Amino acid sequence: MARLTHKHILLGVTGGIAAYKSAELIRRLRDAGAEVQVVMTEAAQSFITPLTLQALSGNPVHVDLLDPTAEAAMGHIELARWADLFLVAPASADAIARLAQGIANDLLTTCWLAAAGKKAVAPAMNQQMWADPATQANLDTLRQRGVAVFGPGAGVQACGDVGAGRLLEAVELAGLCADQFQSGQLTGVEVVLTAGPTREALDPVRYLSNHSSGKMGFALAEACREAGARVTLIAGPVHLPTPERVQRVDITSACDLLAASETAVTQAVARVGSARTVFIATAAVADYRPARVAGQKIKKGDKDDTLELTLIRNPDIVASIAARADRPLVMGFAAETHAVEDYARDKLARKRLDLIACNDVSRSDIGFQSDDNAMVVFWPDAALPAGVGRAELAKASKTQIARQLVSLLAARLPASESAGHAPAPGDPSQTRHADEQL
């Protein structure tokens, strides 16, 4: 949803029962960082007052086409220019008809004609009105002009009918608004991403773990989805909400994580092929686990000043995925406390990764629990003298860092036309597997 930050959303409210939901929608949009201005039809004002929407949007609500207070009395042009996205929600059958016909007989419809940015309608009406061929033809016209149609949903309606025509919930509408601003860099791509720590059980009440908060992985999952990818987020035990429209799989141990990763990658490759599948390993996986998990809580004996634990090696998840015959593009992470870049470059080559992002977790201002991060990213590039490409991402919020990582990732994917085919000599996508040359 971070793509709505500072976006200008012009919300058109028309005359229907669902107009009350526009109040919640404004709140959601503003919570996501958008600025909201509202334009209402005359009929809409019979369903919800401009005062309510003014209070929620923090801006005066616009209702008059002939508004002497607007600069140069051209309110419709000012509003239309201001809007990054013009969403009409709820959109009545009447408003949809007028928009499709290009009628400009009130402020909302005149703004619509004058607006050159993104446009969307969220229909809300009785199921019979929705099914009427006139309504459907009008929506087809709008779609052909590039207007996004959000919903409608189906279910019991205010009039007692059951069927299609319900306005989508505010949270869904806000998510669809955010999608209008996605970069499209990962359209058609499946991303399987691991995040957070693992827990390795010692006994029924104790475990070995680490300080990973999962914030970087969750931010990256959201950034990938915003860039158009379908995302499966495999999360260790963290207290973070699941980003919208991201499929989450919760795991506990490193062995769980490996099994869930293999399953998710297999499913993603089956859907889009290995060349359009990306595996991102941000999880802080425990390198070792107790050799024996006690069936009961380990008790301290009176004379036991020390306790010896035998640890065994956990599977290397990122290397396992990179070693698959149907390997996806693999991005690893390295969190180090010293010689950060050296370790990262070594890991890139040793584990045959396509990219590695490393950060210095000894710094208190970035890393594990922080909301900020700073990273250096390496990838194999046979065309460069050192055989490695390098990008430095200066300290920024994890959301911003995540977006930059998405851009670097997208640049390493083969062009979609060639997806699934061996790269031609000289094809830049060849560098995906050039780590053998390091």
Ligand X SMILES: Cc1cc2nc3c(=O)[nH]c(=O)nc-3n(C[C@H](O)[C@H](O)[C@H](O)COP(=O)(O)O)c2cc1C
**Part in contact with ligand X (CB under 6 A); list of ranges 20-28, 36-44, 180-188, 313-321:** 36-44
**Which range, of 87-95, 289-297, 368-376, 382-390, touches ligand X by CB under 6 A?**
87-95
Among 2, 4, 11, 15, binds ligand X (CB under 6 A): 15
Q: Exposure pattern of 76-113 as b/e (b: 16+ CB <10 Å)?
A: bbbbbebbbbbbbbbbbbbbbbbbbeeebebbbbbbbe
Q: Is 17 in the site for ligand X (CB under 6 A)?
A: yes
Stretch that binds ligand X, among 12-20, 226-234, 291-299, 366-374 (CB under 6 A): 12-20
The DSSP-derived string for 129-192 is HHHSHHHHHHHHHHHHTT-EE---EEEE-TTS-EEEEEPPPHHHHHHHHHHTT---TTTT-EEE
| Binder among 16, 75, 175, 332 for ligand X (CB under 6 A) | 16
User: In this chain, which of 36, 93, 223, 413 binds ligand X, going by CB under 6 A?
Assistant: 93
Amino acid, single-letter form, for residue 368: F
Scan for tokens 């058109």, then name that residue. 12
Catalytic residue among 159, 177, 224, 255: 159
d(CA 287, CA 365): 25
Active site residue 177: no
Q: How far is the CB of 103 from ligand X (least distance, A)?
A: 10
Among 24, 67, 94, 256, binds ligand X (CB under 6 A): 94
Residues counted in the chain: 438
Q: How far is the CB of 107 from ligand X (least distance, A)?
A: 10
Q: Taking the C-alpha atoms of 111, 113, 117 and 122 in order, what is their torsion angle to the nearest 10 degrees?
A: 80
Q: Which two tokens stand for residue 294?
A: 């006690």
Which pair of tokens denotes residue 224? Answer: 């990938």
Question: Does residue 53 bind ligand X (CB under 6 A)?
Answer: no
| Residue among 275, 228, 229 at smallest CA distance from 427 | 275
Nearest CB to ligand X, comparing residues 15 and 151: 15
């199921």: which residue's tokens? 127
For ligand X, give the closer residue by CB, 90 or 217.
90
Q: CB–CB of 114/72 below 8 Å?
A: no
Q: Is residue 149 close enough to count as binding ligand X by CB under 6 A?
A: no
Whose Cβ is closer to ligand X: residue 143's or residue 271's? 143
Under the binding rule (CB under 6 A), the answer on residue 380 touching ligand X is: no
How, if at all, do strands 207-208 and 200-201 pair?
A: antiparallel
Find the binder of ligand X among 92, 127, 180, 277 (CB under 6 A): 92
Q: Is 125 in the site for ligand X (CB under 6 A)?
A: yes
Residue 140 CB, shortest distance to ligand X, in Å, is: 17
Active site residues: 159
Residues at the contact surface with ligand X, assessed by CB under 6 A: 14-18, 41, 43-44, 92-95, 124-125, 129
